[in-house]
Amino acid sequence: MTATDTIQVVPVARPGAMHTRDLLGEGLLWSARQQALFWVDIIGQRINRLDLASGLVAEWDVPDMIGWVLERESGPGFIAGLRGGFATITLEPFSCVLIGAPEPDLPRNRMNDAMVCPRGSIWAGTMNMDGETPTGHFYRLDPDLSWSRVDSGYRIANGPVLSADGQWLYHTDSALGRVYRFAYRGDGTLGPRETFLDFPESWGSPDGMTIDSQGGIWIAHWGVGCVSRFLADGTRTHCIDLPASQITNLAFAGENLDRLFVSSAADGVDEAQGGVLFEVTGTGFRGCPTPRFGG
């Protein structure tokens, strides 16, 4: 269950950027179209872009807390999850236009994490700002920009990801230390919620997730400074330590999808590398292509 000698963890430099760390780094997204890695700083209200060819990092300030950006297939730019709801965002020139607020009756809620499934819909969770009140929900945003609520009762909704074989959708409540799974149907509906993993206290809290092409599920551990790989039966096969405790998200990137990037948070901790973006090399695994939103 431990990392091999070939694995290296390297902090990513940010030439061209004003910030070297994120208060709450999240939402890692690999764009094959742009050959760039995007991620956000939720509390810092910022979008970051790392160009893999040049190594340069660009930044854009956003007028609201932002949980994620996901690329659009036909429209320009991205769909974003803001504190106020779903929005469209373009970067050059910058624009941010609200699509709609799924929770106008819950002003203390915000968007937290999301993914796109192969049919082009976005699956996104919300959470209360205090991380304790179970007012979070799970939504599906379809390419026609309509949304539906598919699950409820979350304290910190996190890390939705679809299994490599397309059979299961995984979703987390970090506050409970629990990873759920739902049978994923081709029409975009879900089966009943099941518990996939309960994290023991020594593992910290499950946060963002990604998958590899061999079917492994990778999970960021908030609070204990590592990422782990699990099989579909829940077996933990790998654990990679990182020099920051609050690990938030991870994604495979690069032309061959063999470069693993990991985000972290500086908020609330006094750590030299808290909030740094890391690259993990030598895992021997590759990720899966990232679908784009169909609208």
Residue 294 lies in a domain: no
pLDDT in tens, 196-247: 999 999 999 999 999 999 999 999 999 999 999 999 999 999 999 999 999 9
Does some domain include residue 31?
Answer: yes
Is 290 within a domain?
Answer: no
Residue 5: pLDDT band (50, 70, 90) is: low
pLDDT at 6: 86
Between CA 161 and CA 154 the distance in angstroms is 16
H or E stretch including 209?
strand 205-211
Q: Mean pLDDT across the chain, nearest whole number?
A: 96
CA distances from 209 to 157, 161, 185, 187, 222 (A): 12, 6, 20, 23, 12
288, part of any domain: no
User: How many domains does the chain contain in total?
Assistant: 1
- Which amino acid, one-letter code, is at 160? P
Contact 251, 287 (CB under 8 A): yes
- Residue 259: inside a domain: yes
The neighbour count for residue 53, using CB atoms within 10 Å, is 8
pLDDT at 2: 54
Residue 38 belongs to a domain: yes
> Measuring CA to CA, how many Å separate 47 from each of 66, 70, 258?
8, 11, 23
Helical H segments across the chain, by residue range: none
Q: What CATH number is given to the structural domain containing 84? A: 2.120.10.30
The two tokens of residue 232 are 């579909």
**Domain annotation covers residue 81:** yes
* Model pLDDT, residue 74: 87
- pLDDT above 90 covers a percentage of the chain that reads 96
Is residue 267 domain-resident? Answer: yes
- Cα pseudo-dihedral 177, 185, 27, 235, rounded to 10: 40
pLDDT in tens, 28-68: 999 999 999 999 999 999 999 999 999 999 999 999 999 99
Mean pLDDT of 66-79: 95
Sheet strands (E) in 4-132: 8-11, 25-31, 36-41, 46-51, 57-61, 66-71, 78-82, 85-91, 94-100, 109-116, 122-128
Structural domain containing residue 250: 8-281
